[in-house]
Amino acid sequence: MRIRRYLRDSGRVLAFVFVASVIWLLFDMAALRMSLNEVNTELLKERVIREKELFKQQLKATQHTRRGFKHPVQRMDWTQAGKGPLTSEDAEVKKRWDEGHFNVYLSDKIPVDRAIPDTRPCEQSLVHDDLPSTSVIFCFVDEVWSTLLRSVHSVLNRSPPHLLKEIILVDDFSTKDYLKKQLDDYMAQFPKVRIVRLKERQGLIRARLAGAAVAKGEVLTFLDSHIECNVGWLEPLLERRKRKTKSFLLQSINKDHFYFNAKLYEIPLTFFR
Protein backbone atom coordinates (compact mmCIF):
# COMPACT_ATOMS: atom_id res chain seq x y z
CA MET A 1 0.00 0.00 0.00
CA ARG A 2 2.72 2.39 0.93
CA ILE A 3 4.55 1.61 -2.28
CA ARG A 4 1.43 2.22 -4.38
CA ARG A 5 0.70 5.46 -2.58
CA TYR A 6 4.32 6.56 -3.06
CA LEU A 7 4.25 5.77 -6.75
CA ARG A 8 0.86 7.48 -7.18
CA ASP A 9 2.06 10.62 -5.42
CA SER A 10 5.34 10.60 -7.38
CA GLY A 11 3.41 10.25 -10.65
CA ARG A 12 1.28 13.25 -9.77
CA VAL A 13 4.38 15.27 -8.99
CA LEU A 14 6.05 14.25 -12.24
CA ALA A 15 2.88 15.04 -14.19
CA PHE A 16 2.72 18.46 -12.54
CA VAL A 17 6.37 19.11 -13.30
CA PHE A 18 5.88 18.03 -16.92
CA VAL A 19 2.81 20.22 -17.40
CA ALA A 20 4.55 23.16 -15.74
CA SER A 21 7.60 22.67 -17.98
CA VAL A 22 5.46 22.59 -21.10
CA ILE A 23 3.62 25.74 -20.06
CA TRP A 24 6.94 27.47 -19.27
CA LEU A 25 8.35 26.37 -22.62
CA LEU A 26 5.32 27.77 -24.42
CA PHE A 27 5.71 31.08 -22.59
CA ASP A 28 9.42 31.16 -23.51
CA MET A 29 8.66 30.46 -27.17
CA ALA A 30 6.02 33.18 -27.24
CA ALA A 31 8.39 35.65 -25.59
CA LEU A 32 11.19 34.66 -28.00
CA ARG A 33 8.88 35.13 -30.98
CA MET A 34 7.86 38.58 -29.76
CA SER A 35 11.51 39.45 -29.21
CA LEU A 36 12.46 38.25 -32.70
CA ASN A 37 9.61 40.25 -34.19
CA GLU A 38 10.85 43.36 -32.41
CA VAL A 39 14.41 42.69 -33.59
CA ASN A 40 13.25 42.12 -37.18
CA THR A 41 11.21 45.31 -37.03
CA GLU A 42 14.22 47.28 -35.84
CA LEU A 43 16.44 45.70 -38.50
CA LEU A 44 13.87 46.54 -41.15
CA LYS A 45 13.71 50.13 -39.93
CA GLU A 46 17.52 50.40 -40.01
CA ARG A 47 17.61 48.91 -43.51
CA VAL A 48 15.01 51.37 -44.77
CA ILE A 49 16.94 54.26 -43.20
CA ARG A 50 20.21 53.04 -44.76
CA GLU A 51 18.61 52.67 -48.18
CA LYS A 52 17.17 56.18 -47.94
CA GLU A 53 20.57 57.60 -46.98
CA LEU A 54 22.25 55.60 -49.76
CA PHE A 55 19.74 56.95 -52.27
CA LYS A 56 20.36 60.51 -51.06
CA GLN A 57 24.14 60.01 -51.36
CA GLN A 58 23.75 58.51 -54.83
CA LEU A 59 21.55 61.39 -55.95
CA LYS A 60 23.93 63.95 -54.46
CA ALA A 61 27.00 62.27 -55.96
CA THR A 62 25.31 62.09 -59.35
CA GLN A 63 24.39 65.77 -59.21
CA HIS A 64 27.95 66.72 -58.27
CA THR A 65 29.38 64.50 -60.99
CA ARG A 66 27.13 65.98 -63.66
CA ARG A 67 27.53 69.59 -62.57
CA GLY A 68 29.26 71.47 -65.37
CA PHE A 69 30.37 68.18 -66.91
CA LYS A 70 31.07 68.32 -70.61
CA HIS A 71 30.33 65.03 -72.30
CA PRO A 72 32.39 64.02 -75.33
CA VAL A 73 30.95 64.58 -78.75
CA GLN A 74 28.84 61.77 -80.20
CA ARG A 75 30.35 61.78 -83.68
CA MET A 76 32.36 58.58 -84.10
CA ASP A 77 34.01 58.32 -87.50
CA TRP A 78 37.28 56.45 -87.96
CA THR A 79 39.35 59.49 -87.00
CA GLN A 80 37.47 59.71 -83.70
CA ALA A 81 37.90 56.07 -82.78
CA GLY A 82 41.40 55.78 -84.21
CA LYS A 83 40.45 52.71 -86.25
CA GLY A 84 40.82 53.03 -89.97
CA PRO A 85 42.79 52.26 -93.09
CA LEU A 86 46.07 53.76 -91.89
CA THR A 87 48.79 51.30 -90.85
CA SER A 88 52.42 51.54 -89.81
CA GLU A 89 53.33 50.49 -93.37
CA ASP A 90 52.13 53.73 -94.93
CA ALA A 91 54.90 55.97 -96.21
CA GLU A 92 53.65 59.08 -94.41
CA VAL A 93 53.29 57.18 -91.15
CA LYS A 94 56.85 55.88 -91.41
CA LYS A 95 58.12 59.34 -92.29
CA ARG A 96 56.76 60.91 -89.09
CA TRP A 97 57.11 57.94 -86.74
CA ASP A 98 60.33 59.16 -85.12
CA GLU A 99 58.68 62.41 -84.01
CA GLY A 100 57.02 60.58 -81.13
CA HIS A 101 57.67 56.87 -81.70
CA PHE A 102 53.99 56.36 -82.42
CA ASN A 103 51.63 57.13 -85.29
CA VAL A 104 51.99 60.93 -85.31
CA TYR A 105 50.43 61.17 -88.76
CA LEU A 106 47.19 59.61 -87.52
CA SER A 107 47.29 61.51 -84.23
CA ASP A 108 47.30 64.83 -86.08
CA LYS A 109 44.17 63.78 -87.99
CA ILE A 110 42.22 62.89 -84.84
CA PRO A 111 40.39 65.79 -83.10
CA VAL A 112 41.95 66.93 -79.84
CA ASP A 113 38.56 66.52 -78.12
CA ARG A 114 37.52 63.30 -79.82
CA ALA A 115 34.93 60.87 -78.46
CA ILE A 116 36.20 57.56 -77.07
CA PRO A 117 34.28 54.45 -75.98
CA ASP A 118 33.10 54.31 -72.37
CA THR A 119 35.19 51.49 -70.85
CA ARG A 120 33.73 51.59 -67.33
CA PRO A 121 32.58 48.11 -66.21
CA CYS A 122 30.24 49.53 -63.55
CA GLU A 123 28.76 52.94 -64.31
CA GLN A 124 26.56 52.99 -61.18
CA SER A 125 29.35 52.63 -58.59
CA LEU A 126 29.00 55.08 -55.72
CA VAL A 127 31.89 57.20 -54.45
CA HIS A 128 32.24 59.51 -51.48
CA ASP A 129 30.82 62.97 -52.02
CA ASP A 130 33.59 64.63 -49.98
CA LEU A 131 36.48 63.68 -52.26
CA PRO A 132 39.57 65.91 -52.20
CA SER A 133 40.45 68.23 -55.07
CA THR A 134 43.39 67.42 -57.28
CA SER A 135 46.10 69.13 -59.28
CA VAL A 136 46.82 67.25 -62.51
CA ILE A 137 50.49 67.56 -63.50
CA PHE A 138 51.81 66.85 -67.01
CA CYS A 139 55.59 66.78 -67.53
CA PHE A 140 56.81 66.84 -71.12
CA VAL A 141 59.84 67.31 -73.35
CA ASP A 142 59.29 68.01 -77.06
CA GLU A 143 55.88 66.32 -76.92
CA VAL A 144 53.86 66.00 -80.12
CA TRP A 145 51.40 68.91 -80.36
CA SER A 146 48.24 66.91 -81.01
CA THR A 147 48.81 64.37 -78.22
CA LEU A 148 49.64 67.05 -75.65
CA LEU A 149 46.49 69.00 -76.49
CA ARG A 150 44.39 65.84 -76.51
CA SER A 151 45.69 64.96 -73.04
CA VAL A 152 44.76 68.37 -71.64
CA HIS A 153 41.35 68.45 -73.34
CA SER A 154 40.45 65.00 -72.03
CA VAL A 155 41.16 66.08 -68.45
CA LEU A 156 39.24 69.35 -68.83
CA ASN A 157 36.25 67.76 -70.56
CA ARG A 158 35.91 64.63 -68.43
CA SER A 159 36.74 65.80 -64.91
CA PRO A 160 34.12 67.12 -62.45
CA PRO A 161 34.92 70.85 -62.11
CA HIS A 162 34.64 70.79 -58.31
CA LEU A 163 37.35 68.09 -58.13
CA LEU A 164 39.76 69.51 -60.73
CA LYS A 165 41.69 72.30 -59.02
CA GLU A 166 44.12 72.95 -61.86
CA ILE A 167 46.25 71.49 -64.63
CA ILE A 168 49.98 72.17 -64.48
CA LEU A 169 52.11 71.70 -67.60
CA VAL A 170 55.79 71.34 -66.72
CA ASP A 171 58.00 71.99 -69.75
CA ASP A 172 61.31 70.26 -69.07
CA PHE A 173 63.28 72.56 -71.40
CA SER A 174 61.68 71.62 -74.72
CA THR A 175 63.31 72.69 -77.99
CA LYS A 176 60.26 72.67 -80.28
CA ASP A 177 59.05 76.14 -81.26
CA TYR A 178 55.36 75.17 -81.11
CA LEU A 179 55.80 74.38 -77.39
CA LYS A 180 56.76 77.97 -76.59
CA LYS A 181 54.58 80.99 -77.45
CA GLN A 182 52.14 78.94 -79.52
CA LEU A 183 51.44 76.73 -76.50
CA ASP A 184 51.16 79.75 -74.19
CA ASP A 185 48.63 81.38 -76.50
CA TYR A 186 46.58 78.22 -76.86
CA MET A 187 46.40 77.42 -73.14
CA ALA A 188 45.54 81.02 -72.24
CA GLN A 189 41.88 80.23 -73.03
CA PHE A 190 41.72 77.77 -70.10
CA PRO A 191 41.81 79.46 -66.66
CA LYS A 192 42.67 76.21 -64.88
CA VAL A 193 45.75 75.52 -67.01
CA ARG A 194 49.14 77.03 -66.23
CA ILE A 195 52.60 76.32 -67.59
CA VAL A 196 55.82 75.94 -65.62
CA ARG A 197 58.99 76.18 -67.71
CA LEU A 198 62.28 74.81 -66.42
CA LYS A 199 65.42 76.71 -67.42
CA GLU A 200 67.41 73.53 -68.02
CA ARG A 201 66.69 69.84 -68.51
CA GLN A 202 65.91 68.28 -65.12
CA GLY A 203 64.52 64.85 -65.91
CA LEU A 204 61.13 63.36 -65.13
CA ILE A 205 61.32 63.12 -61.33
CA ARG A 206 62.67 66.64 -60.78
CA ALA A 207 60.16 68.00 -63.29
CA ARG A 208 57.35 66.37 -61.32
CA LEU A 209 58.73 67.80 -58.10
CA ALA A 210 58.76 71.25 -59.73
CA GLY A 211 55.09 70.83 -60.59
CA ALA A 212 54.28 69.56 -57.11
CA ALA A 213 55.99 72.58 -55.55
CA VAL A 214 53.47 75.00 -57.10
CA ALA A 215 50.38 72.76 -56.96
CA LYS A 216 47.37 73.89 -54.92
CA GLY A 217 45.21 70.75 -54.98
CA GLU A 218 44.83 68.40 -52.02
CA VAL A 219 45.94 65.42 -54.14
CA LEU A 220 48.60 65.40 -56.85
CA THR A 221 47.80 63.42 -59.99
CA PHE A 222 50.74 62.85 -62.36
CA LEU A 223 49.89 61.93 -65.95
CA ASP A 224 51.98 61.34 -69.04
CA SER A 225 51.63 63.94 -71.77
CA HIS A 226 50.32 61.48 -74.37
CA ILE A 227 47.26 60.03 -72.64
CA GLU A 228 43.47 60.39 -72.76
CA CYS A 229 41.17 60.36 -69.74
CA ASN A 230 37.78 58.72 -70.08
CA VAL A 231 34.40 59.53 -68.53
CA GLY A 232 34.53 59.05 -64.76
CA TRP A 233 38.31 58.60 -64.66
CA LEU A 234 39.00 60.87 -61.69
CA GLU A 235 36.45 59.91 -59.03
CA PRO A 236 37.61 56.27 -58.58
CA LEU A 237 41.24 57.39 -58.26
CA LEU A 238 40.39 59.93 -55.57
CA GLU A 239 38.14 57.36 -53.89
CA ARG A 240 41.01 54.87 -53.77
CA ARG A 241 43.32 57.59 -52.50
CA LYS A 242 40.80 58.35 -49.76
CA ARG A 243 40.77 54.65 -48.80
CA LYS A 244 44.55 54.38 -49.36
CA THR A 245 44.35 51.38 -51.67
CA LYS A 246 47.11 50.48 -54.13
CA SER A 247 45.18 49.06 -57.08
CA PHE A 248 43.87 51.15 -59.95
CA LEU A 249 42.52 50.83 -63.45
CA LEU A 250 44.53 52.37 -66.26
CA GLN A 251 43.63 52.70 -69.91
CA SER A 252 46.14 52.38 -72.71
CA ILE A 253 46.16 53.75 -76.26
CA ASN A 254 47.44 51.65 -79.13
CA LYS A 255 50.47 53.35 -80.69
CA ASP A 256 49.53 52.32 -84.24
CA HIS A 257 45.78 52.89 -84.43
CA PHE A 258 45.03 54.93 -81.28
CA TYR A 259 42.18 52.71 -80.09
CA PHE A 260 41.36 52.48 -76.39
CA ASN A 261 42.05 49.60 -73.92
CA ALA A 262 41.47 49.20 -70.18
CA LYS A 263 43.95 47.40 -67.90
CA LEU A 264 44.30 46.75 -64.17
CA TYR A 265 47.57 47.44 -62.35
CA GLU A 266 48.76 46.82 -58.82
CA ILE A 267 51.88 48.67 -57.69
CA PRO A 268 53.52 49.25 -54.28
CA LEU A 269 53.46 53.07 -54.72
CA THR A 270 56.98 53.47 -53.33
CA PHE A 271 59.17 56.41 -54.30
CA PHE A 272 62.94 56.81 -53.98
CA ARG A 273 64.82 60.10 -53.98
DSSP 200-213: S---HHHHHHHHHH
d(CA 10, CA 20): 15
Vertex 125 angle, CA 259 and 51, to 5°:
165
79 or 163: which leads in pLDDT:
163
For residues 262 and 162, is the Cβ–Cβ distance under 8 A?
no
pLDDT, mean of residues 72-85 = 50
Of 259 and 68, the one with more pLDDT: 259
Residue 63 has pLDDT above 60, yes or no: no
CATH class label, 74-266: alpha beta
Mean pLDDT of 120-145: 86
Q: What is the pTM of this model?
A: 0.63
Q: pLDDT class for 224, splitting at 50, 70, 90?
A: very high
Which is more confident, 97 or 71?
97
Is residue 234 scored above 80 in pLDDT? yes
